[in-house]
C-alpha cells in the first residue's frame, strides 16, 4: 500500500502520541514526535505525565493492541519484571466494585479470554518508547513545545516549535496529530483559525489520589490487585497494584472535599480504615521506596471534535486531548490504543476528509468508555448530577450483575472482560448471560457470607 504522505508530526510523547506515531510509520515516510519534557530511558515518572506516580491498570484490550503494534512487547515487559495473570485463578484478585466483592476463589471458565499484565506506568511507557525510538522513520524532538499551527488555505501544513532556549523552528507536515493531553491547546488553535471550539461535555468529580511505592517481599501477598472502589455513601477508596518485581503501589482515593493523605503515616492510617487487614499488615511490614505523591483530578471531560461542522484538513486530535476520564476506571491508555487502530483504518482508506472520518469513528469507542465512567460516577451521591433514564436503568442492572459476580465465576469473567474492553457492553445483556445472573442471585444469599470479608477489614 503506498504511503499517504511524506511527513507526519505528533505533538506529545504520551502513550497516545507514541501509539499514533507507530501507526503513522505505516503511512508516512517520516514521523517526528515533539515533546516538551526531556526524555530518558529511565523507569521514572516524568513531569508531563503527573498521573505516572499513581497505579495504572493495563487493561486487556490495551495489552492486545500493544502486542499487535510491537510484536514481543508483552514478553519483554514480563522479562523486565512485570507480572502476567493467565491461569484464571481468582484468588489473585481481591476486588470490590461499588461495595460488591468479586468472587475470590476458584477460576474463571476461559482463562485465555482474560489475560492481564501488571506493571508501573513508567515501565509500560519505557518499553513503548524503546520500540518507537528504534524505528528508522521516527525522530524525537524532546525539550520542545508546540507554539502554533501553520496553515495554507483550509489545510494545516505543520507546526511551529520552540526549544527551552526560545529558538523557534517550523516543521512542515502532511498531517499533524495532537496528543498533548488534557491541557491541549487545540481548541485555541482552531478558534484562532476561524473554526471555533469543540463543544465540551464535562462532569465534575473532584477526585484525589495519593500513592506510595512499597517493596513487599515475594510471597507475602498472593494477589496481584487489591481494590476497594468508591461506593454510594463511601467516598474513600483503597488500592494496591502489583508492579514490576516486588514493588507495589499503595493508593488512597477521595471524592469531593475530603483531603487525601499526604504523608506515609497518614496513608497507613487511611489504609487501616479502608483496606483489608491482611493487606495493611503487608504494607506495614514492607519497605517504603518513596514518599506519598498526590494527583488531583477535577472532572471527566470530552471535547466533541466529532460534532464540529468544519475542521481543517491535515489535523487530528487523540488521547486525553479529546477525552479524559476519571482515572479510577483505568480507561485512558486503552482508549488511546484503540484510537491508534482507528487512525490506522482511516488512513488505509486514504487522506480525503480524514479529520471528520477519524473523529466520528473514534467517538464510538470513546462513547462506550465515557458512559461507563460517567454512569459509575453519577451512581455516587457525592457526585453532583442526575443521570438520564437509560443510564439509571443501566446502573440498576449493573447492581444485579455485581451481586451475581460475588458468587459466579463466569459472571465475574464476563464483567471483567467488559471492563477490560475485550467484550462489548452488550455482552452483559445477552439473554444467556442474564439467565446466568438470575440464577446466581438465587444462590447468592447463602454463598456470599463465606466469600465476603469482615466489615471491620474492608470498611464496607
pLDDT at 330: 85
**391-423, pLDDT tens digit by residue?**
999 999 999 999 999 999 999 999 999 999 999
Q: Are strands 100-101 and 144-152 parallel, antiparallel or unpaired?
A: unpaired
Cell 483489608 belongs to residue: 276
In the sheet with 155-163, reading across from the earlier edge strand, the strands are: 144-152, 155-163, 168-172
- Is the per-residue pLDDT at 460 higher than 50? no
158-183 mean pLDDT: 96
pLDDT digits (tens, 9 = 90+) for 110-136: 999 999 999 999 999 999 999 999 999
Query: Which residues pair with residue 323 across a beta bridge?
Result: 302
User: Which is nearest to 84 in space by CA: 119, 124, 132, 42?
Assistant: 119
Residue 445 is predicted with a pLDDT of 56
Query: Which domains are present in the chain?
Result: 5-64+123-201+303-376 (3.50.50.60), 85-112+203-297 (3.30.70.2450), 389-458 (no CATH)
Q: For residues 195, 201, 207 and 210, what is the CA-based torsion angle, rounded to 10 degrees?
A: -40
Cα(459)–Cα(11) distance, rounded to whole angstroms?
44
How confident is the model over 298-321, as pLDDT tens digits?
A: 999 999 999 999 999 999 999 999
Closest CA to 400 of 100, 108, 114: 100
Quote the crossing angle between the two packed helices 332-348 and 354-378, to the nearest 10°. 160
pLDDT band at 51 (very low <50, low <70, confident <90, very high): confident
Max CA-CA distance within the chain? 70
Please state the rounded mean pLDDT for residues 220-239.
94
Q: Which of 310, 316, 25 has the alpha carbon at shortest distance from 176? A: 316
Task: Give 457's pLDDT tier (boundaries 50, 70, 90).
Answer: very low
Is a pLDDT exceeding 50 seen at residue 447? no
Cα distance between residue 320 and residue 303, in whole Å: 9
Amino acid at each position: 500500500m503506498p504511503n499517504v504522505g511524506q511527513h507526519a508530526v505528533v505533538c506529545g510523547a504520551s502513550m497516545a502520541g507514541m501509539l499514533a506515531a507507530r501507526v503513522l510509520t505505516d503511512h508516512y515516510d517520516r514521523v517526528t514526535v515533539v515533546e516538551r519534557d526531556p526524555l530518558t530511558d529511565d523507569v521514572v515518572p516524568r513531569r508531563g505525565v503527573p498521573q505516572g506516580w499513581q497505579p495504572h491498570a493495563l487493561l486487556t484490550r490495551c495489552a492486545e493492541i500493544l502486542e499487535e503494534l510491537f510484536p514481543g512487547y508483552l514478553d519483554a515487559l514480563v522479562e523486565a519484571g512485570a507480572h502476567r495473570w493467565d491461569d484464571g485463578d481468582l484468588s489473585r484478585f481481591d476486588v470490590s466494585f461499588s461495595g460488591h466483592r468479586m468472587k475470590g476463589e476458584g477460576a474463571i471458565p476461559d482463562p485465555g479470554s482474560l489475560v492481564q499484565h501488571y506493571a508501573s506506568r513508567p515501565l509500560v511507557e519505557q518499553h513503548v518508547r524503546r520500540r518507537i525510538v528504534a524505528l528508522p522513520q521516527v525522530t524525537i524532538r524532546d525539550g520542545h513545545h508546540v507554539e502554533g499551527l501553520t496553515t495554507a488555505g483550509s489545510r494545516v501544513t505543520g507546526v511551529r516549535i520552540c526549544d527551552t532556549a526560545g529558538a523557534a523552528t517550523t516543521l512542515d507536515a502532511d498531517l499533524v496529530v495532537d496528543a498533548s493531553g488534557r491541557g491541549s491547546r487545540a481548541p485555541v488553535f482552531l478558534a484562532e483559525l476561524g473554526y471555533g471550539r469543540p463543544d465540551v461535555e464535562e462532569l465534575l468529580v473532584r477526585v484525589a489520589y495519593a500513592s506510595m511505592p512499597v517493596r513487599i517481599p515475594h510471597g507475602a501477598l498472593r494477589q496481584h490487585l487489591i481494590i476497594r472502589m468508591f461506593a454510594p455513601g463511601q467516598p474513600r477508596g483503597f488500592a494496591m497494584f502489583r508492579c514490576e518485581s516486588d514493588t507495589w503501589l499503595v493508593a488512597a482515593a477521595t471524592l469531593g472535599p475530603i483531603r487525601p493523605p499526604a504523608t506515609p503515616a497518614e496513608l497507613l492510617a487511611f489504609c487501616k480504615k479502608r483496606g483489608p487487614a491482611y493487606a495493611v499488615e503487608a504494607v506495614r511490614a514492607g519497605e517504603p521506596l518513596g514518599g506519598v505523591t498526590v494527583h488531583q483530578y477535577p472532572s471527566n471531560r470530552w471535547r466533541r471534535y466529532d460534532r464540529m461542522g468544519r475542521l481543517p484538513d491535515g489535523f487530528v486530535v487523540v488521547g486525553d486531548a479529546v477525552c479524559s476520564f476519571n482515572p479510577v476506571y483505568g480507561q485512558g491508555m486503552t482508549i488511546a490504543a484503540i484510537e491508534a487502530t482507528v487512525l490506522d483504518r482511516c488512513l488505509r482508506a486514504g487522506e480525503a476528509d480524514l479529520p471528520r472520518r477519524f473523529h466520528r469513528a473514534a467517538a464510538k469507542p470513546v462513547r462506550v468508555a465515557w458512559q461507563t465512567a460517567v454512569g459509575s460516577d453519577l451512581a455516587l451521591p457525592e457526585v453532583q448530577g442526575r443521570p438520564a433514564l437509560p443510564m439509571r436503568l443501566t446502573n440498576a442492572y449493573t447492581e444485579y450483575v455485581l451481586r451475581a459476580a460475588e458468587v459466579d465465576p463466569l459472571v465475574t469473567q464476563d464483567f471483567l472482560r467488559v471492563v477490560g474492553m475485550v467484550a462489548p457492553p452488550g455482552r452483559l445483556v445477552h439473554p444467556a448471560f442474564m439467565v446466568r445472573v438470575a440464577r446466581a442471585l438465587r444462590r447468592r444469599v447463602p454463598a456470599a457470607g463465606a466469600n465476603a470479608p469482615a466489615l471491620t477489614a474492608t470498611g464496607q
